[in-house]
Amino acid sequence: MFGRVGAIAIDGQAAAGKTVVGRELALRLGCPFLDTGIMYRAVTWLALNEGVSMEDETALGELASGSAMRPGDRADNGLLLGDRMLGPELRTAEVDQHVSLVARVSGVRREMVRQQRDIAARACQDSGGIVMVGRDIGTIVLPDAHLKVFMVASPEVRAQRRYDELKSQGQAASYQEILDNALSRDRIDSQRADSPLAQAADALLVDTSDLTIEQVVGKILEGLESSAERTPR
């Protein structure tokens, strides 16, 4: 259905390693990569900038509908919002603290899912596939994805990875705050009414707690090979 590589959906908990693994996989497969989390972050960033309340679902839905987004060309996880390139401003602690609230809003989700499906269809047509990561890609956005992966890791490992990442960027970080934030986001993401974080029935479960990036990428490539054997195209 999707041509050469097809759509690969990677879902999982906050900081389970989806982005770093997804980007590496896309590089190996020679297809585009989209981290859908940055789209929810962009709506949150806009709401914070424009003073829109995180409780005002109508205004948040309108912000999302008025925001055309595309993955940036840069390898560093940027996003084109209209003609403006956003990057580090989407990963601040302030955005981290509010993004789960924005991602609960059905009007926001509807618009993000619509844009994500368009991006996937175009990428599959132009490049033969896409690697898309998020929370609902295998369940809602691309239920016919060629391969679905669900990544998990212990909360302590996830918090330590994020702590190391911030430290390596020279940013101030508290391990305990990061751990609390990851647990709180897991709770909101998996308990929300609209498309909660959940493993698709046909997803490959990968616990990354004790695996290197290379080992996780290897497991996914194996999964891709065996799914190609099952459904030769």
To ligand DC, the closest distance from the beta carbon of 31 in angstroms equals 18
Report the nearest approach of ligand DC to the CB of residue 11 (Å): 7
Residue 123 interacting with ligand DC (CB under 6 A): no
Please identify which residue in 10, 103, 108, 152 interacts with ligand DC, judged by CB under 6 A. Answer: 103
Among residues 97 and 227, whose Cβ is nearest to ligand DC?
97
What number of residues does the chain have? Answer: 233
Four-residue CA torsion sign, 58, 98, 50, 72: negative
Scanning 69-77, 99-107, 151-159, 166-174 for contacts with ligand DC by CB under 6 A, the matching segment is 99-107
Residues 194-223 interacting with ligand DC (rule: CB under 6 A): none
| Residue selected from 54, 60, 99, 220 as contacting ligand DC according to rule CB under 6 A | 99
Enumerate residues 33-52 that contact ligand DC by CB under 6 A. 36-37, 40-41
Residue number, 92 or 227, with CB nearest to ligand DC: 92
Closest Cα to residue 108, out of 174, 192, 204, 233?
Answer: 192
Nearer to ligand DC, 31 or 105 (CB): 105
Query: Which strands, in side-by-side order, build the sheet including 33-35?
Result: 33-35, 129-134, 6-12, 147-152, 204-207
- Angle, vertex CA 112, rays to CA 34 and CA 155, nearest 5: 60
Beta carbon nearer to ligand DC, 23 or 41: 41
Alpha-carbon gap, residue 166 to 147, rounded angstroms: 31
Pick the closer one to ligand DC by CB: 160 or 228: 160
22 binds ligand DC (CB under 6 A): no
181 touches ligand DC (CB under 6 A): no
Radius of gyration (C-alpha) of the chain in whole angstroms: 17
Q: How far is the CB of 82 from ligand DC (least distance, A)?
A: 20
> Of 5 and 38, which CB lies nearer to ligand DC in the complex structure?
38
Please give the helix or strand (H or E) that residue 127 lies within, else none. helix 106-127
In degrees, rounded to 5, the angle at the alpha carbon of residue 17 between the alpha carbons of residues 12 and 42 is 75
Instruction: State how far the alpha carbon of 213 is from the alpha carbons of 61, 137, 153, 206, 208, in Å.
Output: 36, 21, 13, 12, 8
Residue that the structure tokens 């991006």 belong to: 119
Segment near ligand DC (CB under 6 A); pick from 76-84, 98-106, 163-171, 203-211: 98-106
Residues within the interface to ligand DC (CB under 6 A): 14, 36-37, 40-41, 99-100, 103, 134-137, 185, 189
